[in-house]
């Protein structure tokens, strides 16, 4: 009887010890960031175009823009200890146009000069530090943009509100950014990200509205910023 009690106590002790060890191990397991993911995101963007007219005009200005954007993103993560490295691509539809009714005087032409971002995307490297389910990361890569450039009449211009000249422009530039991501479950993550874009400057002829004529290309530079909120599924 005593031997039976001792054996029962030994078995129960072993089971309890095993369960305690498993519970402790479960508590120390960290979130796994490895693998592919795909998600959707939306946010707001701001643009800062700058126009410089060809000679003999020496001064030209433009209007800052703002607007919404949204699209998809996806990539792959590799985790080594607390370090998470990866590559990601995104594509965003955008409507980033001149801000409100602010107008700029394009020399003596009495017109506003604006660049409207229609879409943007990038392919970037990503590196960050994982604190279990939380991930702090930075990004950098190649960025792409599609935009319309146009000149229109001011309120006090010769033809208020009229669109004079328009031209499309697609460019390649660079981007840097930073973000915070959180793993809500094994497959679901959410994030907040800030991105800065620089698309350099380029000159391209623009089409005169209502005619077949063109005007010389203005040297147009463009930078932009965006804040985005996203949610993704991790495979």
Range in 47-51, 117-121, 185-189 with the lowest mean pLDDT: 47-51
pLDDT for 211 equals: 72
Query: Do 101 and 197 fall within a single domain?
Result: yes
150 shares its domain with 183: yes
**pLDDT recorded at residue 233:** 97
Which residues are CB-neighbours of 14 under 8 A, at least 6 positions away? none
- Of residues 26, 34, 25, 70, the one with CA closest to residue 189: 34
> How would residue 162 be classed by pLDDT, with cut points 50, 70 and 90?
low
Provide the sign of the torsion angle of the four alpha carbons 79, 81, 82, 85, taken in this order. negative
Is residue 103 exposed (0-12), middle (13-18) or buried (19+ Cβ within 10 Å)?
Answer: buried
What percent of the chain shows pLDDT beyond 90? 53
Domain count, the chain: 2
> Do both 10 and 118 map to the same domain?
no
Q: Output 94 or 162, whichever has higher pLDDT.
A: 94
Neighbours of 14 (CB within 10 A): 10
Hey, is 110 helix, strand or coil? coil
Are 65 and 176 members of one domain? yes
Whether 205 and 217 have beta carbons less than 8 Å apart is answered as yes
91 and 206 assigned to the same domain = yes
Mean of the pLDDT values across residues 202-230? Answer: 82
CA distance 108 to 105: 7
Q: How high is the mean pLDDT of the chain?
A: 81
Helical segments of 104-177, H only: none
pLDDT digits (tens, 9 = 90+) for 112-128: 777 889 999 999 999 99
Per the DSSP assignment, residues forming a β-bridge with 230 are 41, 191
* 218 pLDDT higher than 50: yes
Q: Which of 108, 202, 186, 97 is nearest to 150 (CA)?
A: 97
Band (13; pLDDT cuts 50, 70, 90): very low
- Under a CB-based contact definition with an 8 Å cutoff, are residues 201 and 193 in contact? no
87 & 70 share domain = yes
My answer on whether 51 and 20 are in the same domain is no
Domain hosting residue 87, numbered range: 31-234
pLDDT value at 59 more than 70: no
Q: Are residues 121 and 15 in the same domain?
A: no
User: What number of H helices and E strands is found in the chain?
Assistant: 1, 8
Q: Answer yes or no: are the C-beta atoms of 202 and 169 closer than 8 Å.
A: yes
More confident residue, 160 or 150: 150
Is 12's pLDDT higher than 70? no
Q: What whole-number distance in Å separates Cα of residue 48 and Cα of residue 147?
A: 13
Q: Please, what is the end-to-end C-alpha distance for the chain in angstroms?
A: 55
Residue 4 has pLDDT above 60, yes or no: no
- Asked whether residue 93 falls in the same domain as residue 16, the answer is no
pLDDT at 31 over 90: yes
Query: Taking 50 as the threshold, does the pLDDT of residue 220 lie above it?
Result: yes
The pLDDT of residue 8 is 43
């Amino acid at each position: 009887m005593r031997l039976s009690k001792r054996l029962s106590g030994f078995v129960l002790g072993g089971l309890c010890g095993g369960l305690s060890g498993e519970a402790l191990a479960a508590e120390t397991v960290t979130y796994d960031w490895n693998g592919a993911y795909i998600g959707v995101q939306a946010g707001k963007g701001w643009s800062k175009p700058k126009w410089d007219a060809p000679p003999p005009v020496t001064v030209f200005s433009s209007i800052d823009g703002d607007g919404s954007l949204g699209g998809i993103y996806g990539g792959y993560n590799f985790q080594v200890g607390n370090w998470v490295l990866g590559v990601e691509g995104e594509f965003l539809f955008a409507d980033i146009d001149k801000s409100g009714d602010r107008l700029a005087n394009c020399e003596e032409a009495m017109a506003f000069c604006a660049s409207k971002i229609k879409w943007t995307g990038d392919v970037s490297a990503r590196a960050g530090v994982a604190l279990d389910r939380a991930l702090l990361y930075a990004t950098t890569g190649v960025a792409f943009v599609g935009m319309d450039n146009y000149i229109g009449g001011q309120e006090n211009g010769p033809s208020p509100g009229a669109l004079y000249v328009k031209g499309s422009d697609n460019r390649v530039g660079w981007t840097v950014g930073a973000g915070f991501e959180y793993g809500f479950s094994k497959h679901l993550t959410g994030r907040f990200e800030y991105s800065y874009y620089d698309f350099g400057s380029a000159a391209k002829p623009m089409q005169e509205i209502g005619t077949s004529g063109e005007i010389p290309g203005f040297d147009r530079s463009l930078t932009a910023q965006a804040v985005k909120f996203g949610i993704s599924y991790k495979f």
